[in-house]
Amino acid sequence: KGALVTDASLVQASDIRDVVNLLNAASADAISINNQRIIATSPISSVGTTILVNNSLIAPPFTISAVGDTEIMLQRLLNESLLPEIYARREKSNIVFEIYKKNSLTIPIYNSDLKVNYLNLVEG
């Protein structure tokens, strides 16, 4: 017999976006998700149960890494009122939400397409 998999027991793209937005609000210098560097225009989306970051498929477990002021980031990540859905589903479902503080961390370079819609060459 297999376990019943419901939306409540799956990590959603919106969960990942919530954590990334919280880290950006905490002035993170660099963020990556499963070794995909996040920039201001990075899409984090889903198609069914598949999650895409920078239009690349990522699979669980999802590891979000961030470099910046560790104390501010930890304070916000540990504040359950800022991530209420994630904390509620962690208590009720099988979602694992763990936070680790490291002394050293490497964030990869951005390696996806970089589209610029309004770029003009100005000759001077």
**Which pLDDT tens digits describe the chain residue by residue (124 residues)?**
444 444 556 889 999 999 999 999 999 999 999 999 999 999 999 988 899 999 999 999 999 999 999 999 999 999 999 999 999 988 887 788 999 999 898 998 888 766 666 666 778 7
Q: What is the pLDDT of residue 2?
A: 44
Centre a 10 Å sphere on the Cβ of residue 123 and count the other Cβ atoms it contains. Answer: 3
Distance separating alpha carbons of residues 113 and 54, to the nearest angstrom: 8
Q: What is the pLDDT of residue 49?
A: 82
CA-CA-CA-CA dihedral for 22, 26, 31, 32, to nearest 10:
-30
Amino acid at 12: Q
* Region class of 17: left (phi > 0), else alpha (psi between -120 and 50), else beta: alpha
- pTM reported for the whole predicted model: 0.82
